[in-house]
Copies of this chain bind each other. A is one copy, B any other.
Amino acid sequence: MTTGTLSSSPILTGSLSPEGLEAALRDIGARRYHILHPFHRLLHAGKLNRGQVQAWALNRYYYQSQIPIKDAVMISRLPTADLRREWRRRLIDHDGGSEGTGGLERWLKLTAGVGLDRDYVESTAGILPATRFAVDAYVHWVRDRSVLEAVASSLTELFSPKIIAERVSGMLASYDWITAETLAYFTPRLTQAPDDSAFALAYVKEHAVTFEQQKAVLDSLIFKCDVLWSQLDALHLAYVDPRLPPPGAFVPEDAAGD
């Protein structure tokens, strides 16, 4: 029922070396990672108003909230204690070591910092349906596809330090109502993401040997880029251009004021 991403992975004529596979993965990132999306460029260039930044933070919360779910599904599919321990690091990063810590909690500090009510954010009542569909598709991918494809779908983290650096420096420079404390979510991600992606990259380079396996890995990264890209598409349509929020979605208080 999930037919997956058939679209335009690089045409392979035979299996690649591990280095060739890494190069093909990095090429997908260079063409499809959401750092290229106009919404990201507007966000880090300070071209969004407060309501638009709120919409971004609100919708992105749903993504953040499902990451530990996705990671738990992943752990449940890994066959050895070694692999499960490695992946458990991510679960701890997101859910924290104790109450009030961890990435999800830090994201709630970000949504509070941009002026959103915590209960409203946690209810996910105002998110765009397209956000929910895309994020759920990611969790389902990790549940329903091969372990190799599930691991490969995490490889967008190869590209995240750059987008985080752009986002944090750009947002701090551009929005006087955003503080470094509000953006504290991102600081640990600058070291966590490279650890995570180094493991996942080594895993796929070791386990994707045949043409079919390598194609599956490349398609999984394309799929994940689509998951991230379509979330910015939905934000762009609803809140930037042509500003067409679907029925029931969050409407910023200052929507009429700019």
Binding site for B on A (CB under 8 A): 1-3, 5-8, 31-32, 36, 38, 66, 69-70, 73, 123-130, 132-134, 136-137, 139-140, 143, 222-223, 225-227, 229-230, 233-234, 236-238, 241-242, 244, 246-249
Number of copies of this chain that the complex holds: 2
Q: Say whether B133 contacts A230, CB under 8 Å.
A: yes
User: Can you give 10 A-B contacts (C-beta < 8 A)?
Assistant: A1-B66, A1-B139, A1-B140, A1-B143, A2-B136, A129-B226, A133-B136, A230-B234, A233-B238, A241-B241
A2: chain B residues within 8 A (beta carbon): 136
Q: How far is the CA of A82 from the CA of B234 in the complex (A)?
A: 42
A236: chain B residues within 8 A (beta carbon): 237, 242, 244
The chain B residue with its CB closest to the CB of A66 is: B1
Q: Say whether A248 contacts B7, CB under 8 Å.
A: yes
A7: chain B residues within 8 A (beta carbon): 125-127, 248-249
Q: Say whether A230 contacts B248, CB under 8 Å.
A: no
Of A123, A124, A132, A139, the most chain B CB neighbours within 10 A belong to A132
Q: Say whether A233 contacts B244, CB under 8 Å.
A: yes
Q: A1-B139, A7-B126 are in contact. Are A247 and B225 (CB under 8 A)?
A: yes
A136: chain B residues within 8 A (beta carbon): 1-2, 133, 137, 140
A70: chain B residues within 8 A (beta carbon): 1
Q: How far is the CA of A242 from the CA of B235 in the complex (A)?
A: 13
Q: A1-B136, A137-B136 are in contact. Are A230 and B246 (CB under 8 A)?
A: yes
A11 vs chain B, min Cβ distance (A): 13
A224 vs chain B, min Cβ distance (A): 10
6 closest A-B pairs by CB: A129-B226, A133-B133, A237-B237, A7-B248, A133-B137, A8-B248
Q: Say whether A242 contacts B241, CB under 8 Å.
A: yes
The chain B residue with its CB closest to the CB of A231 is: B130
Q: How far is the CA of A233 from the CA of B243 in the complex (A)?
A: 11
Q: Among the listed B1, B242, B246, which residue makes an inter-chain contact with A226, where contact means beta carbons less than 8 Å apart?
A: B246
